Amino acid sequence: MIQAAMLFALGAFASGLFCLAFFTVLARRIRRVTEQRLKASLAITRADFDTERDEMRARNATVIRRLERDASTFRDRVTAYRLDSDLKTQEIAALRSDLASRDEEIGELGTRLEQTNAELIETKKRLAETGTALRAGRNALEAEMERRLALQDEIQDLKSLAEDRRVDLIGMRAEIDYLRSVMGNAASEADPEAGSRDPSPEKAEASEDSKKANRKDAKGAQRRSEARRAPGHRSQAARHLSRNHNARDTAKDAEPIGAEEIARISEDIRRMSADRPMQPAGANGSANKNGTQTDGNAEAKNGHASAGEEVSSDASNGPSQDKPRGAEDRFFQALADIRQLKQHSTKTPAE
């Protein structure tokens, strides 16, 4: 065991000596190579120093030129950025001013919108009040129109009635004047042969026809009055109110002309009664076809009743008769004219 330990120690010492010799040679080699490298990298002679100096100057000049070029580029960029920043600043100022003006406009528009909303609400209220007033006015206007239509109908009825009464009164006055003149002429020029004659049946029949015609005229006037009072007539009058006003104005203008015409006819009757003596068969105290003398009042009634037939016969014969008419024929023609004026005056403006 001691031998083994000694051998191990001997081997260790031998290996140590071998490693020490190897590392010594290696260190010398490393030192020599390092010296050579240092000598090659460092300038030792003056020419080397000049060459290295020129190289460093050229390298520095190149670097400086590159740096100057980069600096010029950076200056241009800075100038461009500065101009761009100035433009951006101006645009920002313009946008800010525009934004401020827009804000002011928005404020004004908001104020105007509030005022418009208030005006709209006020206008709606006024519109509602105006609509209510308009409806009330329309209802009042309709009521007033209905009232005026009713009053106009009543006025028209009263006018028609007054015109009928006036025409009847003028006709009756004309007949009375005529009959008085006829009675005076008949009394002064009485024919003794007239006492043996009786009233003709034709005149009695004519009297009945005249009464029937008068009744028909009265019924027709009543029907027209009822038609004017009917609701349909009022609605029709409401639809044609303007036209009825014009027609009423025309009728009002025509009324005095009819009255003047009737007065003129009555004057003609009075003047005709004094033209010449009457025939005994036509009036009071005159002789009829049977040769009988009748009472003056009865003959006047018969003569008035037969006026329709005599007027129709005169109208049918007309200008074809060769002999001239007497006062009696002209009287009956005047009565026919009075009846025509009466029928014309009883027509309503709507008709």
pTM beyond 0.75: the answer is no
Check residue 108 and give its pLDDT.
Answer: 92
Residue ranges per structural domain of the chain: 164-346
201: helix, coil or strand? helix
Check residue 98 and give its pLDDT.
Answer: 92
3-state secondary structure 148-180: HHHHHHHHHHHHHHHHHHHHHHHHHHHHHHHHH
241: helix, coil or strand? helix
**23-41 pLDDT, tens per residue?**
989 999 999 999 888 877 7
**Pair 253, 162: CB distance under 8 Å:** no
The C-alpha atoms of residue 245 and residue 276 are separated, in whole angstroms, by 48
* Count of positions (residues) in the chain: 351
Q: Which helix (H) or strand (E) holds 8?
A: helix 2-41
**251-264 pLDDT, tens per residue?**
444 444 445 656 66
Check residue 288 and give its pLDDT.
Answer: 38
Going residue by residue through the chain (351 aa), what tens digit of pLDDT does each one get?
788 888 888 999 999 899 988 998 999 999 999 988 887 777 677 787 888 888 889 999 999 999 999 999 999 999 999 999 999 999 999 999 999 999 999 999 999 999 999 999 999 999 999 989 999 988 998 998 898 888 888 888 888 888 888 877 887 887 787 787 777 777 777 654 444 444 444 544 545 555 555 555 555 555 655 555 554 444 444 444 445 444 444 444 444 444 565 666 666 666 655 554 444 333 333 333 333 333 444 343 444 444 344 434 443 444 444 433 455 566 666 667 766 665 655 554 444
